Amino acid sequence: MTENQAKILIVDDEPDTVGLIELTLLPAGYELSLAYSGEEALKMLRNDAFDLLLLDVMMPEITGFDVIRVLSEENKTIPPIIFLSAKGQQKDIDEGNALGAAGYLVKPATRGQLLDAIGAALYEAKR
């Protein structure tokens, strides 16, 4: 598998954000699946394998951080995670890192930042 054939789950409750991410990742050749809530993401992660999880933090009902906590409690295999969030304070970044994040990008992230973070996370996962 080359990195651009990677299967990525994008999780964000803002359809416009998901659309912008798609515009960046589809031309790069990634296979994308979309979830618009933490609950939808959990269902997908329980039933399918992904190479990378691009996860918003602030979502109604189940936050991105809580998605990872639930999967950990269920002893599910968790793919590399890149949090993409408007929450950019150091305590938020530290919480993401404590949950095993391969990256943490603060919105609005540039296309280059997003592609670089994904490439680095996929590279590290293969090592």
Residue 47 sits in a domain of what CATH number?
3.40.50.2300
Q: For residues 42-71, give the mean pLDDT.
A: 97
Its pTM stands at 0.94
Q: Which domain holds residue 68?
A: 3-126
Strands of 103-106's sheet, edge to edge? 31-35, 7-11, 52-55, 81-85, 103-106
Distance of alpha carbon 56 from alpha carbon 11, whole angstroms: 6
* Residue 86 Cα distances to 12, 21, 72, 79, 92, angstroms: 11, 15, 24, 22, 10
Distance CA 105, CA 127 (A): 22
Each residue of 98-127: pLDDT tens digit?
999 999 999 999 999 999 999 999 999 988
Quote the number of domains for the chain. 1
Q: What is the pLDDT of residues 75-95, one digit of tens each?
A: 999 999 999 999 999 999 999
